């Protein structure tokens, strides 16, 4: 099976070959975009990511066999145009968590502690994420939602790996600081995650 780099190389003379890259990675790009801006805007981001990638395919570094980090990097740049949508989604998430906490307090019977913990964690998490530097947040979400490792994030964002390390360290520290103490001190998998 051809590597992504080989497909891109082939597409320079046979452009239609680029379609294979879409078949391989469209779902992953959509999943990442959908987590950030919701499914509707994710459709646009996914589509546009591949149009931009096609136009810029000569710039793809063939050292990287896997094109997914490169594609997620393009998607991350395109997501900047959807910042307001992303902010609305954060606000909606926060509002939903707040409702859970309030409802749980008024009607504790039938509301699991797990769900309350989840709502409290979200209430702490979302403001920390929205306050974060954009570059730190991009690195963090590429790691957590795009499943990229440090080197791949560096490739996606076009920054040195040291920058990725410092951004993720800052982001982790902010999340750790924001986490509710009764949740962050627990060990192991959190019950609300199940």
Partner 1 sequence: MDELDPLRALRGDVADASAASLERGRLALERHVAAAPSAPRRQTKPAGRPQWLSSPFVALGAVVATAAVATLVIVGTLGISDRHPDSIAGPPPSISATTATPFEVPTDCATIAGSTILTQWAPAFGASTLLSQNDYGPSNGTSGAHVCVFGSNDTHTVLTIVVGALESGPGSRATAEASAAAQGYTRLSDDSTGSLYIEPVGTDPNSAGVNLITNTAWITVGSQGTAQAGDDLLPLLQSWAEDVAQRLHAY
Could you list the residues that contact partner 1 (CB under 8 A)?
A: 15-16, 18-19, 22, 26-27, 30-31, 34-35, 39, 42-43, 46-48, 50-52, 54-56, 58-59, 73, 77-78, 80-81, 83, 93, 118, 121-122, 125, 129, 131, 133-135, 138, 140-141, 143-145, 157-160, 162-163, 166-167, 170, 172, 175-176, 179, 183-184, 186-190, 192-193
Closest distance of CB 1 from partner 1, Å? 20
User: Which H, E and C letters describe the chain, residue by residue?
Assistant: CCCHHHHHHHHCCCHHHHHHHHHHHHHHHHHHHHHHHCHHHHHHHHHHHHHHHHHCHHHCCCCCCCCHHHHHHHHHHHHHHHHHHHHHHHHHHHHHHHHHHHHHHHCCCCCCHHHHHHHHHHHHHHHHHHHCCHHHHHHHHHHHCCCCCHHHHHHHHCCCHHHHHHHHHHHHHHHHHHCCHHHHCCCCCCHHHC
Closest distance of CB 116 from partner 1, Å? 14
Closest distance of CB 134 from partner 1, Å? 4
Considering the complex, state which of residue 15 and residue 105 has its C-beta at the smaller distance from partner 1.
Answer: 15
Considering the complex, state which of residue 85 and residue 122 has its C-beta at the smaller distance from partner 1.
Answer: 122
Considering the complex, state which of residue 27 and residue 107 has its C-beta at the smaller distance from partner 1.
Answer: 27
């Amino acid at each position: 099976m051809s590597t992504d780099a080989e497909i891109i190389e082939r597409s320079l003379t046979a452009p239609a070959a680029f379609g294979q890259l879409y078949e391989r990675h469209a779902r992953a790009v959509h999943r990442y975009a959908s987590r950030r801006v919701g499914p509707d805007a994710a459709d646009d981001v996914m589509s546009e990511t591949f149009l931009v990638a096609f136009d810029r395919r000569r710039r793809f570094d063939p050292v990287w066999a896997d094109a997914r980090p490169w594609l997620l990097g393009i998607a991350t740049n395109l997501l900047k145009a959807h910042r307001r949508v992303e902010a609305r989604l954060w606000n909606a998430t926060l509002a939903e968590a707040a409702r859970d906490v309030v409802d749980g307090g008024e009607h504790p019977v039938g509301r699991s502690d797990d769900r309350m913990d989840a709502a409290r964690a979200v209430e702490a998490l979302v403001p920390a994420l929205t306050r974060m530097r954009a570059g730190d947040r991009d690195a963090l979400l590429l790691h957590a939602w795009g499943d990229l490792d440090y080197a791949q994030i560096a490739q996606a964002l076009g920054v040195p790996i040291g920058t990725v390390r410092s951004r993720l360290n800052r982001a982790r520290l902010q999340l750790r600081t924001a986490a509710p103490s009764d949740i962050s001190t627990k060990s192991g998998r959190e019950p609300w995650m199940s």
